[in-house]
Amino acid sequence: MTVSQSNSEYDRGVSGGDTIMKVRDTSVTFDMDRGESRVLDSVDMDIQRNEIIGVVGESGSGKSMFASALLDAIVDPGQLSGDITYYPESGDAEGQDILEFDKEERRQYRWEEVSMVFQGAMSSFNPVRKIETHFIETLTAHDENVEEGLERAREILRDLYLDPDRVLESYPHELSGGMTQRALIALSLVLEPEVLVMDEPTAALDLLMQRSIISLIRDLKERYDLTIVFITHDLPLVADIADRISVLYAFEFIEIGPTNEILEDAKHPYTRLLLKSTPNLGSPIEDMRPVEGSAPDPVNVPEGCSFHPRCPLADEQCVAENPGPYEVSGGGDHFAHCHHWEDASDAIPMMEEGANRADADERADRPSTAGYGDRSGDPVVSVDDLEVHFEEDTGFLSFFSDPDVVKAVDGVSLDVYEKDVVVLVGESGCGKTTLGKTAVGLQEPTGGSVKFHGEDIWDVKRSGGEDVNWGQIRRSLQIVHQDPGSSLNPHRRVKASLEEPLRRWNKDLDGNDRRQRILSLLTHVGMTPPEDYIERYPHQLSGGEQQRVALIRSMMMNPEVILADEPVSALDVSLRVEMMDLMIQLQEMFGTSYLFISHDLSNARYISEKTGGRIGVLYLGELVEIGPPEQIIQNPQHPYTQALRWATPELNPQEERATEAPIRKIDIPDPKNPPSGCRYHTRCPEAREVCKEQKPETYDAPTNVESHQGTCFRMVDDHEYWESEPLPEGEEGTLGDSGSAGDEGTATGD
């Protein structure tokens, strides 16, 4: 096997194909008071014509800088240097040096040759202009025939399963997140570029929409002959579509190779550790480990191999010499920047081939709830037939018509026990946050009840309780937000933020006791030296550190239940396992229960499986399935849970995944006007006539697992559902194998 450190070997290795862009020795730097910040450090890459290449990295690894560099769009005062050559025609030996373009050439290159899709389409569109205006402006700015261009736009919108008339006539806020993101993709394609750079294009979307758009991207590449650079922090997501994956660490590419080789046997220690740290549905829980340490500051990147402070294989050579690219496979297309890549597989073993499948099957086969969290006592919090209906303010129009009512939560019953973990999952707008807030007394229900140790908390608030009072309830039911910045006062040091609850709830502690308790908790959560951390303001902490402070601040009140609202979704993948492990440790220390909200089934699986908890699946305000994670993940009974399971990206390249989407429509119906009967019937591929008319009750799942229940007629052997006629495909619209609406009926549903 060739082992090489020279860039010329790398050139020979990766330049064999039909290269459309060649990036050499390219850097982006910013001059800062404390020194030069090198946010892209002498990177090399060849992008092959018509491939999808995934660029994977954690926040601050340089991936967005790389994307901007490809368009020569680094904002001031950043400095872009190096060589980026674009080869517009196949076989073009010379190419064009994009950093030498004059203003006019650059204008033509951007969007006409290389186009970009950013995350968060809403912020890319001007909110006071219709979508059509954006297309017209883009076409006009590039001297294109507007009429022909708009015709092309309509075609692309149709290819993205959108109704062109409706979308073009809409303002951005009139479309759902998934629709605006698809409209933005259409806009980026309207000038018929050769290369599409997508920077986290699905990060803000729900799982089902994300998976559907990923499938569409694959189709678009074929249909429009595109080369796609897909930039993401989410390795499993890109693994589904990329031909090759490149991994960025500390502003450099540290490994690049074919997707299957990277997933099966990555050669760089960081890639291996990143894969092991990624929550997923297949691997044994005990195999998932956080990557120790943190990524370097761009002003202070370690000498030699930048990963050496975190690498279990590091030796003197690693500290002294920056490793060049070593060719690690006979194919000449897999490179790792590591001196000891040959030892990485033994030193950092991945899961054995097939182990995850066998393990998963074994987990699904577990017959009973034995060993799960003890739910034999009385619940701490109990919600019964809960309703939270909001009247939507229609302003002036409300004089003439009844206001619309959003049934955010509708008829949910759920008990949370001591030291329990219940994870609520579902798409945006399914009611999971409203249910969580209502369960911890932050939102008053419009129907049903919420009880704390058997007493209705709103009765206690209004007229006092027998055994509990309102102050005790407020202290016992806490919340940790997704954005820890929102719960920490930006003007208060960590010490002041953490002292406040101790002063309020532990009046017997003096100043010294409070300080000692804070120092000990900061040490416990790995924020050392704690004497340094207590003096910092929130902006001097990383996202993960802020979340830790928010968590221990809640724990200071000795709560019985914490509502953790997407507590890890803003963190990098490699930190999620660490944060969830920390939550579990604190749970053991303080005896707390969690109501954990997540849109991500992999995170839900991790924390619930590790704690013997449960996963509850919400759809349009209703709890449609609940049970142990092994059942919900490996043996889901409700068709909606099955769709969420399908949409969750996998890491296992061996896994045969159904390409056919088990869902009729991408978009969730309007919660103001939920479908009749079973609310899922408009999207359910198993729906029959009876599902339109009758509302399913909660049934025990046919899995012999006591706490596994769901609301689907298919769980009942002798239900009339089985005699009922299937809903015709055309009536509600059916999805094609791209996971998208496949006929006109559904396009209008968007």
Q: How far is the CB of 268 from ligand SF4 (least distance, A)?
A: 6
Q: How far is the CB of 297 from ligand SF4 (least distance, A)?
A: 18
How far apart CA 389 and CA 434 sit, in angstroms, is: 10
If the CB atoms of residues 420 and 686 are measured against ligand SF4, the closer one turns out to be 686
How far apart CA 429 and CA 406 sit, in angstroms, is: 10
Task: Kindly list the strands in the beta sheet with 52-56, ordered across the sheet, starting from the edge strand earlier in the chain.
Answer: 114-117, 195-199, 227-232, 52-56, 244-249, 252-258, 335-336, 326-327
535 residue type, one letter = E
How far apart CA 317 and CA 333 sit, in angstroms, is: 25
How far apart CA 371 and CA 595 sit, in angstroms, is: 20
Residue 82 in 3-state DSSP? strand
577 binds ligand SF4 (CB under 6 A): no
- Distant-in-sequence, close-in-space partners of 424: CB < 8 Å, separation ≥ 6: 432, 435, 436, 595, 596, 597, 598, 616, 618
How far apart CA 480 and CA 496 sit, in angstroms, is: 18
How far apart CA 523 and CA 519 sit, in angstroms, is: 6
Q: Which of residues 680-719 bind ligand SF4 (CB under 6 A)?
A: 680-681, 684, 686-687, 691, 696, 712-714
Asked whether the beta carbons of 63 and 85 are under 8 A apart, the reply is no
How far apart CA 515 and CA 509 sit, in angstroms, is: 10
479 binds ligand SF4 (CB under 6 A): no
Q: How far is the CB of 346 from ligand SF4 (least distance, A)?
A: 12
Q: Which of residues 314-333 bind ligand SF4 (CB under 6 A)?
A: 314, 318, 323
Q: How far is the CB of 695 from ligand SF4 (least distance, A)?
A: 9
Q: Which stretch binds ligand SF4 (CB under 6 A): 294-302, 305-313, 484-492, 641-649?
A: 305-313
Asked whether the beta carbons of 55 and 232 are under 8 A apart, the reply is yes
Q: Which stretch binds ligand SF4 (CB under 6 A): 101-109, 334-342, 450-458, 661-669?
A: 334-342
311 binds ligand SF4 (CB under 6 A): yes
Report how many residues bind ligand SF4 under the rule CB under 6 A. 25
636 binds ligand SF4 (CB under 6 A): no
Q: How far is the CB of 686 from ligand SF4 (least distance, A)?
A: 4
How far apart CA 127 and CA 111 sit, in angstroms, is: 21
User: Binding residue for ligand SF4 (CB under 6 A) from 272, 339, 605, 645?
Assistant: 339
If the CB atoms of residues 269 and 530 are measured against ligand SF4, the closer one turns out to be 269
480 binds ligand SF4 (CB under 6 A): no
- Residue 439: count other Cβ atoms within 10 Å of its Cβ: 27
* DSSP, res 401: S
Asked whether the beta carbons of 694 and 702 are under 8 A apart, the reply is no
* DSSP, res 256: E
Q: How far is the CB of 281 from ligand SF4 (least distance, A)?
A: 21
How far apart CA 122 and CA 680 sit, in angstroms, is: 28
Give the pairing type, strands 96-97 and 227-232.
unpaired
- Distant-in-sequence, close-in-space partners of 656: CB < 8 Å, separation ≥ 6: none
* DSSP, res 119: S
Lookup result for tokens 């790398």: 10
Q: Which stretch binds ligand SF4 (CB under 6 A): 169-177, 304-312, 439-447, 563-571?
A: 304-312
User: Binding residue for ligand SF4 (CB under 6 A) from 45, 55, 338, 626?
Assistant: 338
269 binds ligand SF4 (CB under 6 A): yes
User: Binding residue for ligand SF4 (CB under 6 A) from 237, 266, 313, 360?
Assistant: 313
550 binds ligand SF4 (CB under 6 A): no
Q: How far is the CB of 37 from ligand SF4 (least distance, A)?
A: 22
Q: Which of residues 353-392 bind ligand SF4 (CB under 6 A)?
A: none
How far apart CA 50 and CA 52 sit, in angstroms, is: 7
User: Binding residue for ligand SF4 (CB under 6 A) from 580, 678, 705, 741?
Assistant: 678
Q: How far is the CB of 714 from ligand SF4 (least distance, A)?
A: 5
Q: How far is the CB of 348 from ligand SF4 (least distance, A)?
A: 10
How far apart CA 439 and CA 19 sit, in angstroms, is: 56
If the CB atoms of residues 379 and 639 are measured against ligand SF4, the closer one turns out to be 639
If the CB atoms of residues 228 and 663 are measured against ligand SF4, the closer one turns out to be 663
664 binds ligand SF4 (CB under 6 A): no
Q: How far is the CB of 347 from ligand SF4 (least distance, A)?
A: 8
Q: Which residues bind ligand SF4 (CB under 6 A)?
A: 269, 305, 307-308, 311, 313-314, 318, 323, 338-340, 638-639, 678, 680-681, 684, 686-687, 691, 696, 712-714
